[in-house]
Amino acid sequence: MIIKSASLDIVCGYTSKVPVTQLPEYAFSGKSNVGKSSLINTLVNRKALARTSQQPGKTQTINYYNINNKLFLVDLPGYGYAKVSEQERRKWGVMIDRYLTRSKQLKKVFLLVDIRHAPGANDRQMFSWVVESGFEPVVIATKADKLSKSEAAAQLRVIRNTLGMTDGEPLIPFSAKTRQGRDEIWGLMDEVKEGQEDGIVKDQGSI
């Protein structure tokens, strides 16, 4: 996709209602410090649209990034940061659940995991949560540049087995440094868009 404009349009906190938007939404979820902000910046060719931080747990809101006035990339709060209070973790969980179940425009959920480690309990719970919400999650294995090709291939098998993914479910190695996986992620979003447009045409043709 050619990025003509990208902006942070909506910030949704714990007490906020899920916004009603008119654009398709693609959500990104993952453990704190897994690289969601870096991924979003890479997708849109911006250095600092989404703020990156070495401090885990930085994103405490749901952030909607408007891309070309055509779609929203939605950054969900990171989970699994031990130094955040249990009360804060529950709030983040409520926000994520509210978004997954109430957004009318959510088209696809991307779950980010660190390719260097097997998915933890929080990752497995999030994967199941997304499935139970009616979506097929796309798993993105971040920081792929940290491993050799053979190491990465082995870790992708570990991730797939740990999450109980089938061979047909998408698992994309990604690197913000080398931009590996960027085109594949945009390609999946385009597939969703094209499929829905085909459905609209078919529906209109049957009237």
* CATH number (domain holding residue 20): 3.40.50.300
Q: Is the pLDDT of residue 7 over 90?
A: yes
pLDDT of residue 207: 27
Count of domains forming the chain: 1
Mean pLDDT of 40-48: 94
Which parts of 69-204 are beta strand (E)? 71-75, 106-114, 138-142, 171-173
Amino acid at 62: I
Mean pLDDT of 141-165: 97
Q: Establish if 205 belongs to a structural domain.
A: no
In whole angstroms, give the CA distance from residue 103 to residue 26.
11
Over residues 131-143, the pLDDT tens digits come to 999 999 999 999 9
Q: What residues make up the domain containing 153? A: 6-183
The pLDDT confidence band at residue 203, using thresholds 50, 70 and 90, is very low
In whole angstroms, give the CA distance from residue 165 to residue 162.
8
Which parts of 90-195 are beta strand (E)? 106-114, 138-142, 171-173
Helix (H) or strand (E) holding 159: helix 149-163
Q: Establish if 136 belongs to a structural domain.
A: yes
Q: Establish if 163 belongs to a structural domain.
A: yes
Q: Establish if 62 belongs to a structural domain.
A: yes
Q: Establish if 59 belongs to a structural domain.
A: yes
Determine what percent of the chain is predicted with pLDDT higher than 70.
Answer: 85
